[in-house]
A = this chain, B = another copy of it.
Protein backbone atom coordinates (compact mmCIF):
# COMPACT_ATOMS: atom_id res chain seq x y z
CA UNK A 1 0.00 0.00 0.00
CA UNK A 2 1.04 3.61 -0.60
CA UNK A 3 1.03 5.27 2.81
CA UNK A 4 1.79 8.94 3.60
CA UNK A 5 2.72 10.02 7.12
CA UNK A 6 2.98 13.46 8.73
CA UNK A 7 3.28 14.81 12.25
CA UNK A 8 4.31 17.81 14.32
CA UNK A 9 7.52 18.14 16.37
CA UNK A 10 5.96 16.32 19.36
CA UNK A 11 5.55 13.12 17.35
CA UNK A 12 8.84 13.10 15.45
CA UNK A 13 10.17 10.00 17.20
CA UNK A 14 6.94 8.03 16.76
CA UNK A 15 6.84 9.05 13.09
CA UNK A 16 10.37 7.72 12.52
CA UNK A 17 9.54 4.41 14.22
CA UNK A 18 6.34 3.98 12.19
CA UNK A 19 8.10 4.83 8.92
CA UNK A 20 10.60 2.01 9.64
CA UNK A 21 7.82 -0.38 10.63
CA UNK A 22 5.77 0.41 7.50
CA UNK A 23 8.77 -0.03 5.22
CA UNK A 24 9.67 -3.34 6.89
CA UNK A 25 6.09 -4.46 6.23
CA UNK A 26 6.61 -3.72 2.52
CA UNK A 27 4.57 -0.52 2.17
CA UNK A 28 5.51 2.38 -0.09
CA UNK A 29 5.95 5.20 2.45
CA UNK A 30 5.95 8.96 1.82
CA UNK A 31 7.23 10.94 4.81
CA UNK A 32 5.73 14.44 4.55
CA UNK A 33 7.70 15.76 7.52
CA UNK A 34 8.72 17.50 9.56
CA UNK A 35 12.32 16.32 9.31
CA UNK A 36 13.79 18.30 12.22
CA UNK A 37 12.76 18.84 15.84
CA UNK A 38 11.96 22.54 15.31
CA UNK A 39 8.53 23.59 16.55
CA UNK A 40 5.92 23.51 13.76
CA UNK A 41 2.15 24.00 13.49
CA UNK A 42 0.16 20.76 13.21
CA UNK A 43 -2.46 22.23 10.79
CA UNK A 44 0.23 22.79 8.14
CA UNK A 45 1.24 19.13 8.20
CA UNK A 46 -2.35 17.92 8.57
CA UNK A 47 -3.44 19.85 5.46
CA UNK A 48 -0.44 18.56 3.49
CA UNK A 49 -1.25 14.96 4.43
CA UNK A 50 -4.96 15.45 3.71
CA UNK A 51 -4.20 16.67 0.21
CA UNK A 52 -1.94 13.68 -0.47
CA UNK A 53 -4.73 11.28 0.53
CA UNK A 54 -7.64 13.18 -1.07
CA UNK A 55 -5.78 13.48 -4.37
CA UNK A 56 -5.38 9.70 -4.51
CA UNK A 57 -1.58 9.91 -4.66
CA UNK A 58 -1.54 7.55 -1.65
CA UNK A 59 -4.00 4.93 -0.37
CA UNK A 60 -3.85 5.79 3.32
CA UNK A 61 -2.52 8.45 5.69
CA UNK A 62 -1.04 8.46 9.18
CA UNK A 63 -1.36 11.70 11.19
CA UNK A 64 0.52 12.21 14.46
CA UNK A 65 0.82 15.00 17.02
CA UNK A 66 1.16 15.16 20.81
CA UNK A 67 -2.46 14.18 21.54
CA UNK A 68 -3.56 13.39 17.97
CA UNK A 69 -6.45 15.83 18.47
CA UNK A 70 -5.19 18.89 16.62
CA UNK A 71 -3.94 17.08 13.53
CA UNK A 72 -7.14 15.00 13.31
CA UNK A 73 -9.18 18.22 13.24
CA UNK A 74 -6.97 19.56 10.43
CA UNK A 75 -7.16 16.42 8.27
CA UNK A 76 -10.94 16.21 8.63
CA UNK A 77 -11.31 19.74 7.19
CA UNK A 78 -10.73 18.02 3.82
CA UNK A 79 -13.95 16.34 2.59
CA UNK A 80 -11.81 13.76 0.76
CA UNK A 81 -10.43 12.50 4.08
CA UNK A 82 -12.02 10.49 6.85
CA UNK A 83 -9.59 10.72 9.75
CA UNK A 84 -10.10 8.57 12.87
CA UNK A 85 -8.33 9.50 16.11
CA UNK A 86 -7.67 6.23 17.94
CA UNK A 87 -5.79 4.96 20.98
CA UNK A 88 -6.60 1.24 20.80
CA UNK A 89 -7.14 -1.44 18.16
CA UNK A 90 -10.92 -1.79 18.37
CA UNK A 91 -11.45 1.84 17.35
CA UNK A 92 -8.96 1.35 14.50
CA UNK A 93 -11.01 -1.65 13.35
CA UNK A 94 -14.37 0.13 13.63
CA UNK A 95 -13.02 3.17 11.80
CA UNK A 96 -12.38 0.98 8.76
CA UNK A 97 -15.49 -1.24 8.98
CA UNK A 98 -18.02 1.55 9.62
CA UNK A 99 -16.41 4.79 8.43
CA UNK A 100 -14.04 3.68 5.65
CA UNK A 101 -11.39 5.82 7.38
CA UNK A 102 -8.50 6.64 5.05
CA UNK A 103 -6.39 8.44 7.66
CA UNK A 104 -5.53 7.28 11.19
CA UNK A 105 -4.53 9.84 13.84
CA UNK A 106 -2.70 8.99 17.05
CA UNK A 107 -1.23 10.91 19.99
CA UNK A 108 2.50 10.31 20.46
CA UNK A 109 2.42 11.64 24.03
CA UNK A 110 -0.61 9.53 25.00
CA UNK A 111 0.04 6.04 23.64
CA UNK A 112 3.19 3.94 23.36
CA UNK A 113 4.82 2.74 20.15
CA UNK A 114 3.55 -0.86 20.40
CA UNK A 115 -0.08 0.26 20.75
CA UNK A 116 0.49 2.64 17.83
CA UNK A 117 1.86 -0.19 15.66
CA UNK A 118 -1.08 -2.43 16.58
CA UNK A 119 -3.60 0.30 15.70
CA UNK A 120 -1.86 0.97 12.39
CA UNK A 121 -1.67 -2.75 11.56
CA UNK A 122 -5.41 -3.19 12.19
CA UNK A 123 -6.16 0.02 10.26
CA UNK A 124 -4.24 -1.20 7.20
CA UNK A 125 -5.65 -4.73 7.26
CA UNK A 126 -9.36 -4.14 7.95
CA UNK A 127 -11.81 -3.84 5.03
CA UNK A 128 -14.73 -1.41 4.83
CA UNK A 129 -18.10 -3.04 5.57
CA UNK A 130 -20.10 -1.18 2.89
CA UNK A 131 -23.91 -1.61 2.86
CA UNK A 132 -25.71 0.83 5.21
CA UNK A 133 -22.35 2.41 6.07
CA UNK A 134 -21.78 3.51 2.46
CA UNK A 135 -24.63 6.05 2.52
CA UNK A 136 -23.20 7.66 5.66
CA UNK A 137 -19.68 7.74 4.25
CA UNK A 138 -21.03 9.37 1.07
CA UNK A 139 -22.55 12.12 3.23
CA UNK A 140 -19.11 12.77 4.76
CA UNK A 141 -17.82 13.54 1.24
CA UNK A 142 -20.51 16.18 0.69
CA UNK A 143 -20.81 18.24 3.88
CA UNK A 144 -23.62 20.79 4.06
CA UNK A 145 -23.67 23.84 6.28
CA UNK A 146 -25.45 27.14 6.48
CA UNK A 147 -24.32 30.22 8.33
CA UNK A 148 -20.80 29.02 9.10
CA UNK A 149 -18.76 31.54 11.06
CA UNK A 150 -15.43 30.69 12.61
Contact = CB atoms under 8 A, between A and B. Distances in A.
Contacts of A135: 41
A77 B135 CA distance: 17
A95 B83 contact: no
A86 to B, nearest CB: 8
Contacts of A44: 139
Interface residues of A, number: 53
A136 B42 CA distance: 7
Contacts of A107: 91
11 contacts: A41-B136, A43-B136, A67-B99, A70-B99, A73-B140, A74-B143, A77-B143, A78-B143, A79-B150, A80-B150, A87-B87
Interface of A: 39, 41-44, 47, 50-51, 54-56, 66-67, 69-70, 72-74, 76-80, 82-87, 90-91, 94-95, 98-99, 101, 107, 110, 132, 135-136, 139-150
CB-CB nearest 10 A-B residue pairs: A76-B76, A141-B150, A77-B143, A43-B139, A67-B94, A80-B150, A41-B136, A69-B84, A85-B85, A55-B147
Given A41-B135, A77-B143, 4 more contacts: A69-B86, A72-B85, A73-B84, A76-B76
